[in-house]
């Protein structure tokens, strides 16, 4: 695992956008796995800026989603599908055909999970998966105690994660209890994992993921198993390393 400490979130965004631009030079139709939350926004802003200045060509890029809330009505502004379309797909000038994600509004959620896991493999696998980290060490929505071999499936959110994510909703009661998430095994199938963490609130989770034991209690520690994992942290998130 490579750990890179950057001075601030903008520098982390620039560094990861550079890695994505390089990948797209080598493989123009690369499948980029993206994460939601506040942390990766500087990456998407930096990559979109590179596309505008023609320092990156994302015209054939494909984008896939890491996780999704279950039960939000189709088109809800905080469904991760809406967020990824708004924050990533549209700013890169891509249309919806370039995007794939799990169907959180499916009647048969278990079948939707299986279908998404299969679709990722049939698309040739994820070339670069960007990850954030929850304050409890989760990746995607794989909460503590998730199997390190898990595949895409339905999960129940912890109260801590619901509270952390309540800022995107009007009220805590509106935050769904259930989600679909790529499993840890699914995430580990990506060719390159890049985790970005910024801010003091992530310092403990980062220290446990990077320097703690490999352990289902800290799902992000699964990156220790991956042959090509990069952890990019600002100085605040690196403060307990
Ligand atoms: C959610 C997402 C994760 C993300 C996490 C942290 O739980 N499912 O993929 O990493 O939030 O979000 P933030 O970057 O806003 O702290």
Contact between residue 39 and residue 197 where contact means Cβ atoms under 8 Å apart: yes
At 68 the pLDDT is 97
Of 48, 187, 53, the residue nearest 126 (C-alpha): 187
Active-site residue identified among 14, 138, 164, 192: 138
- pLDDT, tens digit (0-9, with 9 covering 90-100), for 51-88: 999 999 999 999 999 999 999 987 899 999 999 999 99
Contact between residue 240 and residue 23 where contact means Cβ atoms under 8 Å apart: no
Q: Which residues line ligand 1 (CB under 6 A)?
A: 35-39, 66-67, 132-134, 140-141, 161, 165
Kindly indicate whether the ipTM for this predicted assembly is greater than 0.90, answering yes or no: yes
Beta strands in the chain (DSSP E): 2-6, 31-34, 62-65, 67-69, 99-100, 128-131, 153-156, 178-181, 192-197, 229-234
What share of the chain has pLDDT > 70, as a percent? Answer: 100
Domain ranges of the chain: 2-234
- Ligand 1: residue of 9, 12, 13, 37 to mutate (most ligand atoms within 8 A of CB) is 37
Please identify, by atom number, the ligand 1 atom nearest to the C-alpha of residue 40: 14
At 73 the pLDDT is 85
What's the rounded mean pLDDT across residues 5-11? 98
The domain 2-234 is placed in CATH, from the list 3.40.30.10, 3.30.70.1230, 3.30.360.10, 3.40.50.1360, at 3.40.50.1360
**In the numeric block, which tokens belong to residue 125?**
């696998």
Question: Ligand 1 centroid vs 108 CA: distance in angstroms?
Answer: 25
Question: Ligand 1 centroid vs 36 CA: distance in angstroms?
Answer: 6
d(CA 43, CA 27): 19
At 223 the pLDDT is 98
Judged against a pLDDT cut of 90, whether residue 237 lies above it is answered with yes
At 88 the pLDDT is 98
Residue identifier of the C-alpha nearest atom 5 of ligand 1: 134
What's the rounded mean pLDDT across residues 179-191? 98
Of 163, 240, 160, the residue nearest 204 (C-alpha): 240
Catalytic (active site) residue 159: no
Of 155, 186, 141, the residue nearest 37 (C-alpha): 141
Question: Ligand 1 centroid vs 35 CA: distance in angstroms?
Answer: 7
- Helix, strand, coil proportions of the chain in percent (round to 5)? 40, 20, 45
- pLDDT, tens digit (0-9, with 9 covering 90-100), for 78-102: 999 999 999 999 999 999 999 999 9
What's the rounded mean pLDDT across residues 178-197? 98
The distance in angstroms from the start CA to the end CA of the chain is: 14
- pLDDT, tens digit (0-9, with 9 covering 90-100), for 203-214: 999 999 999 999
């Amino acid at each position: 695992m490579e750990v890179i400490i950057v001075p601030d979130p903008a520098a982390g965004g620039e560094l990861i956008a550079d890695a994505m631009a390089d990948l797209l030079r080598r493989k123009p139709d690369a499948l980029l796995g993206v994460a939601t939350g506040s942390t990766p926004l500087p990456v998407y802003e930096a990559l979109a800026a590179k596309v505008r200045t023609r320092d990156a060509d994302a015209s054939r890029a494909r984008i896939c989603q890491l996780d999704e809330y279950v039960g939000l009505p189709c088109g809800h502004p905080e469904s991760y599908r809406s967020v990824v379309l708004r924050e990533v797909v549209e700013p890169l000038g891509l249309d919806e055909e370039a995007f794939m994600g799990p169907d959180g509004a499916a009647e048969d959620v278990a079948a939707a999970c299986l279908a998404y896991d299969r679709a990722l493999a049939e698309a040739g696998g994820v070339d670069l998966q960007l990850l954030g980290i929850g304050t409890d060490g989760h990746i995607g929505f794989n909460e503590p105690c998730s199997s390190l071999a898990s595949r895409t499936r339905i999960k129940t959110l912890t109260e801590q994660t619901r509270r952390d994510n309540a800022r995107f909703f009007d009220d805590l009661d509106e935050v769904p209890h259930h989600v679909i998430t790529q499993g840890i095994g699914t995430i580990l199938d990506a060719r390159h994992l890049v985790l970005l963490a910024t801010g003091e609130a992530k310092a403990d989770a980062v220290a446990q993921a990077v320097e703690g034991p490999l352990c289902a209690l800290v799902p992000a520690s699964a990156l220790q198993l991956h042959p090509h994992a990069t952890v990019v942290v600002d100085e605040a998130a690196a403060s307990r390393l």
